Each structure stands twice: as structure tokens, then as C-alpha cells.
Amino acid sequence: MCNGKLASSDPSALALRLDAVCTRIRMAEQAASRPPGSVTLIAVSKTFPAEAVAAAARAGQKAFGESYVQEAVDKMGRLRSMPESGPLQWHFIGPIQSNKTRPIAEHFDWVQSIDRIRIARRLAAQRPADRAPLQSLIEVNISGEASKSGVAPADVLELAREILRLPGLRLRGLMAIPAPDLPPAAQRAAFRRLRTLQETLRAALSGPSAAGIDTLSMGMSADFETAIAEGATMVRIGTAIFGKRT
């Protein structure tokens, strides 16, 4: 993923867009004096078919984000019959209803949108014993009332402590979707607040729990360079890779 040699063997439009996104990520890392490869790209494939995922996988992208459980599970099933795509890593990034936790726990590698303890407990209990713990991010409501999803910043520490007690989950950090259409300075401030919150969380936890918290998922097609400047380690990009969703 984003290995700098994507487009050479596959000149499709999708591979070229993916390559362009990877180049922009590398440039943003460099501009922020961050090591190359310190930002992981999640290609957000929601609403796009399995064929589009397979094309991105052929171009070297292996981590994908999905927001709708049933659509994602159907897509994973179709991709299993396209073995040339190789093993893929799946991130659930959408709102989680409690009656949808089981397929998330059974099919995904990561869940980025945990925003309440009830959901965390269900995911942990339903994670199959033969799978690695579900890599987990807490979704934070970083823009206040402008956003409906995510836990309030003041409640992050308590939720983190609860998740750390659940054997089926491994807490890796925080995720946020700042309100859309913020002026650039306010958008940047929102990303900075999430990074500061992550630092506060690590300081409040101790030892291995704090060390395991290494992921800051922020930045989408319209704003990922700003997010990288503010410390994102994971960006979730759909439109710039797959095109406009209809």
C-alpha cells in the first residue's frame, strides 16, 4: 500500500488515482517532517462494488474501509472468489447499531467507530475466539454539536479504560470525523484537538496500555493533508480514489 510503485504495472484510472493519493500522502509526511510510511492509507470502498476493491488490491492497496455492514459482508464474500486480490484488511468505519455488532465482530479486522461501552462489550463477546482481537478505535465527537456520532472528549478516558479490560478488543487509538465545511483554521484546530486528546489519554494510562495506543485516524479526501500535518497516522480516503459516490 502506498509503496510508490503502484501505477507502473497497472495503468487503469483507479490505479492512477490511487497512485496520486499515495504521492500526496508521502508529500504531506515530508512537509510535516514525518518519516515516510508513517501514515497508513485506508481506501474507503463503501458503495463501490467488489470489482473496484479488486482493482485497487491489484494496484497494491490492501486495507479497505466500509460503513454499511451488510454491503461490506456481501463484498467480502464476492472478493473471496477473486483470490488474485490476496488477503485484505477490513476496517469498519460507520455508525454501529447494537443489533449489527455480530457481523462486525466476525468479519472485520478493525473497528474505528466505537462510541459507547455497550457496543464495545458486544463486539468483544462476539469476537470469534480463533481470530486476533479486534483492533479498535474510539470515535470522538471532536466538533461538538455539529456532529452526531462519537463520544464526547470528556468521556474518552472512561471508555478507553473499559475497552482495555475487554479481551476480544485491542485499543489502538482515536478516530474523528470533524464537521464538514469548517473554515481551514477551525478544521485544523479540530485535528489538533484529537491529537492532544490522544496524548492526554496516553499520559493518563500507564505502561503497555499507553504504548499500544499508536493510531490517530483522521483525514478524508478533502482534508487529509491537514490531518497529516496535525499528526494523523491513518487517513480514510474514498472519493479521491474511487470517484464520487452516487
Ligand X SMILES: *Cc1c(COP(=O)(O)O)cnc(C)c1O
Interface contacts to ligand X, rule CB under 6 A: 44, 46, 67, 93-94, 177, 220-222, 236-240
Q: Quick count: other Cβ atoms within 10 Å of Cβ 242?
A: 23
Q: How far is the CB of 33 from ligand X (least distance, A)?
A: 25
By C-beta, is 37 or 243 nearer to ligand X? 243
Strands, E, within the chain: which ranges? 40-44, 63-66, 89-92, 110-114, 134-140, 169-176, 215-217, 234-237
Residue 148 beta carbon to ligand X: minimum distance, rounded to whole angstroms: 12
Cell 479521491 -> residue:
240
Task: Select 94 or 153, whichever has its Cβ closest to ligand X.
Answer: 94
* Beta bridge mates, 140: 151, 176
Nearest-approach distance from CB 31 to ligand X, in angstroms: 20
Q: Which is nearer to ligand X, 163 or 242 (CB)?
A: 242
The sign of the CA dihedral 48, 136, 150, 200 is: negative
Nearest approach, Cβ of residue 194 and ligand X (Å)? 13
> How far apart are alpha carbons 228 and 32 in whole angstroms?
7
- With respect to ligand X, which residue has the nearer C-beta, 33 or 246? 246
Calculate the CA 158 to chain-centre distance: 22
CB nearer ligand X, residue 213 or residue 240: 240
Residue 193: how many CB atoms within 10 A of its CB? 17
Comparing every residue's Cβ against ligand X, the nearest one is: 238
Question: In the complex, what is the shortest distance from the CB of residue 245 to ligand X, in angstroms, rounded to a whole number?
Answer: 7
